[in-house]
Amino acid sequence: MACFIHADIDAFYASVEQLDHPGYRGKPVIVGGLPSDKRSVVSTASYEARSFGVHSAMPIFQAYKLCPGGIFLRGNMGRYKEKSQEVLAVFSDFSPDVKAISIDEAFIDITGTERLFGPPETLAKNLKERVLRKTGLVVSLGLASNKYIAKIASGMSKPDGLYIIPPGGEEGFMRSLRVNKIWGAGRKSQELFKKYGLKTGEDIYALPKEKLTLIFGKAFGLFLYRAVRGEAAAAFDDDRGSHSISSERTFPHDLYDEFTIETVLFDICQDLMFRLYTNNLQGRTIFIKIRYDDFHTESARETYPYPVVSMNELFEFLRLLFQKKYKPGRRVRLLGAGLSNLEPENHSRQNELFEMINEKERKLEKHILEINTKYPHAALKRGRSWLIDK
């Protein structure tokens, strides 16, 4: 019988800060931005902060109103990644099959580890204990025969939770579940649950497949139909590589000057190209995203027969796309761009001469991007002319 653990670090970013700064312990810590950062939102709130009503995705100004005495921090991703690795390393002591699904969550396949580590419950308790001892962090665990249910289970008794669905109990668990606990059903779906008077898994169970797909759409309707029957959702099962990369900026104040906006676009381009290079990827589809001051958001994309080959090209293509989409004079609060249709580098079918010229350009760019990334204040970053004028 398969057995999976879903592990979730409690209030991850805030917990790391409290670990690193003893003075923060026992106090409301809010990671995401300073009170003066007008357009930031909360990434993580410590449980002390949550008792004031502060939660993830809440605008910082609102969190500040609820909890003016809180410790507000912008956060330190590098440090969080480091701690994440430490925790994953402990997971690996218990199973060779550990899959991180985000910086603070992982699935651990403990199928067939009974002889080594004892029954699942014993393993789980030992794992929690060892994570705490070795990293100082608290994890909540869910155990079940499939990943989807383990994922829901880990959220059932947070913080410091351990929730086990015994084999055979999957359907019963899902049918008794309140709909707000269904993973994959967000705000819009919750509205639909309410509209149709669906309060628990049992209510969904009672509906025929056709009715569900009518209400929720084909894919999600079918997903729900299977989920409440305790069947494993395919959502976590495939090993999906990277399909797209993107970068976006929300400005402290709306922008409407095209040159200024395009300078930001250039900066985003450097970001994207650097990440493409360091991961040895190429992309055939480029896209931009514009959010106006009224929050109305538009996007545009374009697919080319060959991958974008250089920073120069990427910027020119993105700029054209931007000019095609942008309504001059309108105030822009966010600009984003990215690439999809990604593939490993050098899979393009260009002729050799072109490839050679290209290689030179790419090498130069790689160096420049490296310098700009290592030393963000270096002179190279100041002007965007070094590429445009070439």
Partner DNA sequence: TCTGGGGTCCTAGGACCC
Binding site for DNA (CB under 7 A): 38-41, 43, 56-57, 59, 61, 65, 102-105, 183-190, 217-220, 238, 240, 242-250, 271, 275, 284-285, 287, 294-295, 297-303, 333-334, 336, 338, 340-341
Q: What's the min distance (Å) between Cβ of 244 and DNA? A: 4
| 3-state DSSP of 243-259 | CEEEEEEEEEEEECCHH
Q: Which is nearer to DNA, 61 or 205 (CB)?
A: 61
Instruction: Mention every residue, 6+ apart, whose C-beta is less than 8 A from residue 381.
Output: 270, 372
As a dihedral over the C-alpha atoms of residue 373, residue 374, residue 380, residue 382, rounded to 10 degrees, the angle is 70
Q: What's the min distance (Å) between Cβ of 1 and DNA? A: 25
Q: Which is nearer to DNA, 159 or 184 (CB)?
A: 184
DSSP 228: T
Q: What's the min distance (Å) between Cβ of 295 and DNA? A: 3
Q: What's the min distance (Å) between Cβ of 227 and DNA? A: 12
Q: How far is CA 372 from CA 232, 245, 264, 364, 378, in A?
A: 46, 19, 15, 12, 6
Q: Which is nearer to DNA, 24 or 148 (CB)?
A: 148
| 345 has catalytic annotation | no
Q: Which is nearer to DNA, 24 or 287 (CB)?
A: 287
Q: Which is nearer to DNA, 301 or 366 (CB)?
A: 301
Instruction: Mention every residue, 6+ apart, whose C-beta is less than 8 A from residue 294.
Output: none
Pairing mode, strands 71-73 and 29-31: parallel
Catalytic residue among 17, 82, 86, 105: 105
Query: To 10 degrees, what angle do helices 218-227 and 209-216 make?
Result: 130
**Half-sphere exposure of 235 toward its Cβ, with a 13 Å CA cutoff?**
22
Q: How far is CA 382 from CA 255, 267, 376, 386, in A?
A: 19, 10, 9, 10
Tokens 């312990």 correspond to what residue? Answer: 25
Beta bridge partners of 8: 105, 140
Q: What's the min distance (Å) between Cβ of 123 and DNA? A: 23
Active site residues: 105
